[in-house]
């Protein structure tokens, strides 16, 4: 089924407006030594960065970042703070990184280094600034997916992107199915049963 979407000027479409503003600001923010603060919304980096925390970001290139650093990337008009879990090593892969939220199983699809805005240098907690917490050990199944996607990345960036997207969709589908089964089981209990 197709849906016709009327053409809206950028100023009337909030997502397009945000993307346009971000595209205008990125070159200014990427200047060497630029630093800014932002509020992080979401739970993907818990416990290193709690939902609603203020983070300090130092604009940086990939040369300034290493595996284990929490970085801010630009993806589809949003700024995303996740940890670098792999840096490509050969050919086209050397211009890509894999990131993953600490609280998530799967890595994000490979990102070009151009999407890298900077590194999270500090988190504001309990009234004071402190470096973000280090990475937690990656659980077994997540480690397996990371190994597979990073191996594929070295051979084919587009294939690695597709694999990461499919893996993410399968993970979301699995979680939805588990919740649906749990609701069915809870609903199928006889009345008055605990």
- State pLDDT tens for residues 149-193: 999 999 999 999 999 999 889 888 988 998 888 888 887 655 555
Q: What is the pLDDT of residue 171?
A: 86
Q: What is the pLDDT of residue 166?
A: 92
Of the chain, the percentage scoring pLDDT greater than 90 comes to 36
**What's the whole-number mean pLDDT along residues 88-117?**
91
Q: What is the pLDDT of residue 88?
A: 93
Q: Is the pLDDT of residue 2 over 50?
A: no
**φ, ψ at 101 (rounded to 5°):** -70, 140
55 token code pair: 């983070």
Compute the distance between CA of residue 167 and CA of residue 173 in angstroms, rounded to an integer: 10
**φ, ψ at 136 (rounded to 5°):** -90, 160
Q: Is the pLDDT of residue 111 over 80?
A: yes
**What's the whole-number mean pLDDT along residues 56-61?**
85
Establish how many alpha carbons lie within 13 A of residue 180's alpha carbon, considering only the half-sphere containing its beta carbon: 6
**φ, ψ at 76 (rounded to 5°):** 50, 45
Kindly indicate the confidence band of residue 129, based on its pLDDT and cuts at 50, 70 and 90.
Answer: very high
10-187 topology per CATH: Umud Fragment, subunit A (2.10.109)
The SS3 call for residue 55 is strand
Q: What is the pLDDT of residue 105?
A: 85
Omega cis (within 30) before 166:
no
Place of tokens 């990475």: 135
Q: What is the pLDDT of residue 1?
A: 27
Kindly indicate the confidence band of residue 9, based on its pLDDT and cuts at 50, 70 and 90.
Answer: very low
Among left, alpha and beta (phi > 0; psi -120 to 50; other), residue 123 is beta
Comparing 192 with 10, the larger pLDDT belongs to 192
The SS3 call for residue 183 is helix
Q: What is the pLDDT of residue 4?
A: 29
Q: Which residues contact 140 (CB under 8 A, 6 or more apart)?
A: none
Q: What share of the chain is helix, strand, coil (3-state, %, to 5)?
A: 40, 25, 35
Q: What is the pLDDT of residue 97?
A: 94
């Amino acid at each position: 089924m197709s849906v016709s979407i009327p053409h809206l000027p950028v100023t009337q479409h909030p997502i397009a407006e945000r993307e346009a503003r971000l595209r205008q600001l990125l070159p200014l923010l990427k200047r060497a030594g630029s630093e800014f603060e932002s509020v992080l919304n979401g739970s993907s980096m818990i416990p290193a960065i709690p939902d609603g925390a203020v983070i300090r970001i130092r604009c940086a290139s990939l040369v300034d970042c290493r595996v284990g650093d929490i970085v801010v990337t630009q993806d589809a008009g949003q700024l995303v703070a996740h940890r670098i879990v792999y840096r490509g090593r050969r050919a086209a892969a050397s211009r890509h990184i894999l990131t993953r939220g600490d609280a998530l199983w799967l890595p994000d699809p490979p990102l070009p280094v151009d999407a890298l805005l900077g590194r999270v240098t500090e988190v504001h907690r309990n009234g004071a600034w402190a470096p973000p917490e280090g990475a937690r050990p990656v659980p077994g199944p997540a480690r397996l997916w990371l190994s597979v996607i990073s191996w594929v990345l070295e051979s084919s960036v587009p294939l690695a992107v597709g694999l990461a997207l499919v893996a993410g969709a399968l993970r979301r589908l699995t979680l939805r199915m588990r919740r649906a089964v749990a609701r069915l089981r809870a609903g199928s209990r006889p009345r008055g049963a605990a």
